[in-house]
Amino acid sequence: MTLSAGLDALRTPLPAFALATVVGAGALAGSPLAGPPSLMLAITLFCVALWILNPVPPAYTGVLCLGLVGVAFSADLALVGFQSPATWLIGFGILIGVATRESGLAGWAGRWFVSRSVPARWRDDPVRAYASLMLALCLGALAFALLVPSTLVRVLVLAPVLYETGKLFEDREAQVGIFLAPLFATFYGGSGIYTAVLPNVIIAGIAETLGAPAISWTEWAITLFPVMGLARALLVAAVVYALYRPAPDSELSIPETGPEPAGTSEKRMLAFLLAGTAFWMTDFFHGAHPVFGAILVVALAFLPTVGVLDFSKAGDADYSILFFLGAVFAIGEGLSQTGFADLAAESLLGTIPTEGSLVVALAFVFGATLLLNLLMEGLAVASVLTPVLVSYASAAGLPLTPVMMTEALALSTYFFPYQSAVLVAILAEDAVSAGELIRVTVACSLATILVLLPIQFGIFSLLY
């Protein structure tokens, strides 16, 4: 049996559940911790194994996780994720996607963008048209990160447009690439913009309250954006192009001219999205969570007479992904409440050398953060790890700014959907399979670590 065949066999339900059970039981029996921490770790590893092997939909594993946490601990802990605004932001975002597609805006916007980003001489060449369109979409998605601070919001707004745009290509590979590349560009490239990724703000805010120097938007941009913003977005485009591209003889349906003028329905939906964008862009003024901007868009889009479709259409959407996200938050909160997260953070940081070059210390910080992020959602890691990192850096005499930036970079380097609400939101669009999403996530993260991270560490050593 080949390695590939063996892995496929493990992904079938019975072997996968058996392996996940062995992993969870092994953690429970072999953990040096006793009581609730070891039990929470066992539940976590059981669910993580199922999410990685993917023998059943991630949402179904989420339901199992909620049940296990509820029985082992409490209903309050199991359902804590459904109190999170991020969970409901994704829920309302699903409705925004339905309205954007049903109104015709997603298809019209895709055709409009294609007509301006693909040269006329390449419109009969699927490979060149695909490359040109992907590059333009990735750069546009990165620029979008300067306007809308929430990555979740950007993904929820862009996803329907990208889904419809991909339909211009008959080839399934091209559809996957056009959908994923710009979303990963705005997601991964946003780490180079202080306000574009929530962990950036959380890490800097916690560190500042603990005595670390404040990091300005400009300092963050000068230090990180050239490599981890622009270069990372271009790297994402290159990685996705290498993984997914159309066959040279595949069908392509790019119109000779741009789309017809937008109709009433498209214009109304665009106005509603602009109203939501204005809300999200002015959060510095009103301080409200982005979920309320999503509620505003949904309320307008489904408003009788004024909106673009009837509210009965809301029942057509698939909300099962919310069980997945609820389970992720329950795990993060459980690991934190039982004390496992603190113990893990301190143990991981204990491996970092206190003597040596800054680059060596930053590499260990990156690795420790990455390992902890395999068990917990990124925001939970930031809240647990940042105080420990500030204490470590102060004791070791390391400059705090590059340490905090390195933690932020590690928290924007993912491998599996359960690690980030943004990846869950991408999966919720039902445009790609979990396997396709994992493949691109792993490839982009490994490329970032191998190609861009050494360059960024060199910049840190020069500046600090």
> One digit per residue, pLDDT tens: the chain, 464 residues?
454 555 455 557 777 777 777 777 776 666 666 678 888 888 888 888 888 887 888 888 889 999 999 998 999 999 988 887 778 877 888 888 888 888 888 788 777 877 778 787 787 888 898 999 999 999 989 988 877 777 887 888 888 889 988 888 888 999 999 999 999 999 999 899 887 887 887 787 777 777 777 788 788 889 999 999 999 999 999 999 999 999 888 887 776 666 677 788 889 988 998 888 788 777 667 777 778 888 998 999 999 988 888 888 888 777 887 888 788 788 878 877 887 767 777 776 677 766 668 898 899 889 988 988 887 777 778 777 888 888 778 877 888 889 999 999 999 899 988 888 888 889 888 889 888 999 999 999 999 999 999 999 999 999 88
Output the pLDDT for position 229: 94
Output the pLDDT for position 27: 65
Is 45:27 a contact under the CB 8 Å cutoff? Answer: yes
Output the pLDDT for position 256: 65
Q: Beta-carbon neighbour count of residue 399 at 10 Å?
A: 16
Output the pLDDT for position 34: 64
In terms of residues, how long is the chain? Answer: 464
